[in-house]
Structure formats: C-alpha cells, structure tokens
Amino acid sequence: MGTTAADRNSGILTNRQKLFLALSAMAGLFGAPGAWLLQVMVSETLAAQACDGPTRGARFGALHADAWVIAISIGAISVAVLCAAFAICGFVVLGRRQNQLKTSRADSSAAAAELRRKRFIALCSMEIGCGFVVGLAFTTLVRFFLDSCSAWH
C-alpha cells in the first residue's frame, strides 16, 4: 500500500489503507461465518431431502446427496480460507504500520491509539475467520465418518 512520507510521519492511514482494512475486517467477521452458515444450511437441507422415506436418495438423480454436500463443503472451505487470509493480511498490514510509527519516533498518542483500536478489530476478525475455517473443516469431516441418513446425524 503506497504511503507518502507525510502520512508515514503523521501516523495517519491513507484512505486506500482504510478501505483495505475495512474490507479485510468484514471478510473475517462476516465472510467466513457466512460460508459456514451457508454450508450448514445447504448440507442439512440436502441430507434431509435425501433421507425422506420411500424416495430415499432418488431425488438427486445420478449424483448422490453426499457428493453435493462434499462439493458445497469444498466451496465453503475455499471461500472461508480466502476470507481468513484476507483478515490475516489486514492484521499484518496494521502491525507493520504500527512498527513504522514506532521507528519513526513521531509517535503521537492519537495516532497510536487509532492504530491500537484498528489492530484490535483486525485481530478479532482474524481469529473469527480462522475459527470458522476450523469449524468448516470439522463439519466437512463428519461426512466421511457418518452417512447422511445415519441415526447419529
């Protein structure tokens, strides 16, 4: 992210950096949980339809419900990993910016406080994004251990 010498010394983030940080925070806070929620809703709906009484498994034609669920899970994990990686990038950018502010010795308390607040939000975003990636991995692994129509599902 390009910053000018005046921005580096004043401790103020550029508008471009602020937009990047806002988008990375939203990706971690809403993207990864949204992917998990969508995966759970779709896979449970497909499993319920596939296990419905006498037409069990016949509603999906050539593709079995488990194949659809695994495909949706792979897509959701891909989206969640990208969102978590974007959130991690935002946290790293803020960490570097904070280090630049410390080394420039132009450490105004207002700029330092602003960076600390933004870094806390980035940290929360990163943790939530990574947590939902782990959750998606575990909900996907369930498919390999239990059948969709199992009594334990």
Q: How far is the C-alpha of 70 from the C-alpha of 140, rounded, in Å?
A: 7
Q: How confident is the model at residue 78 (pLDDT cuts 50, 70, 90)?
A: very high
Whole-model pTM: value is: 0.77
Query: Residue 6: its pLDDT value, please?
Result: 45
Q: How confident is the model at residue 8 (pLDDT cuts 50, 70, 90)?
A: very low
Q: What is the mean pLDDT of residues 115-138?
A: 93
Q: How far is the C-alpha of 129 from the C-alpha of 41, rounded, in Å?
A: 19
* pLDDT tens per residue, range 14-56: 889 889 999 999 999 999 999 999 998 988 787 777 666 555 5
Query: Residue 151: its pLDDT value, please?
Result: 59
CB contact burial 23-55 (16+ within 10 A = b; e otherwise): ebbebbbebbbbbbeebbebbeebbeebbeeee
Query: Residue 7: its pLDDT value, please?
Result: 43
**Structural domain boundaries in the chain:** 14-145
Query: Residue 14: its pLDDT value, please?
Result: 84
Mean pLDDT of the chain: 80
* pLDDT tens per residue, range 45-72: 877 776 665 555 555 543 566 777 788 8
Residue 76 has pLDDT above 80, yes or no: yes
Query: Residue 2: its pLDDT value, please?
Result: 52
Q: How confident is the model at residue 82 (pLDDT cuts 50, 70, 90)?
A: very high
